[in-house]
Each structure stands twice: as structure tokens, then as C-alpha cells.
Amino acid sequence: MKVKLNGKIEDINQATVLELLTARNIEPRMVSVEHNLKILDKEDFGRTPLREGDSIEFLYYMGGGG
């Protein structure tokens, strides 16, 4: 199915947000996920189904500035 991932249309076959993170080798604890404009609780990554046309943003922690 086609989803918009970080602003780009991509063809994916993962069923949940957690599966998508795992497939991309992204450690779930180091990212926030916005799914159709809603920031997900980390506990919900595994039970948030992905559907055709969804918009997903991976938002990364950036702690520098000094």
C-alpha cells in the first residue's frame, strides 16, 4: 500500500507502525511518530494499523545546541 512517509510517497507492506519502524531499523525509543497528524503514544506503536494513504512522520530527538 502507498503511504506518505516523511513527506514522500512510499510503497510499504508493514501492517503497523511498530513493524514499519522495525523494518527500517529504527529503535522505537529514539523516535516520536506522528500518524495522520496525531502524535502516538509509544505503547500504541504496535497496535496502530497502517492504511493506504496514511501520513507518517518520524520525528527525531535532537538534543544538541551548545
Q: Which is nearer to another protein, 13 or 27 (CB)?
A: 27
**Residue at 28: amino acid letter:** P
**Of these, 15, 23, 39, 49, which contacts another protein (CB under 8 A)?**
39
Q: How many Å apart are CA 64 and CA 44, to the nearest integer? A: 28
Query: Applying CB under 8 A, does 30 fall inside the site for another protein?
Result: yes
Query: Applying CB under 8 A, does 23 fall inside the site for another protein?
Result: no
User: Nearest-CA neighbor of 33 among 56, 6, 7, 10?
Assistant: 56
Q: Give, rounded to a whole angstrom, the gap between the first and last alpha carbons of the chain.
A: 42
Residues that bind another protein (CB under 8 A): 6-7, 27, 29-30, 32, 34, 37-39, 41-42, 57, 59-66
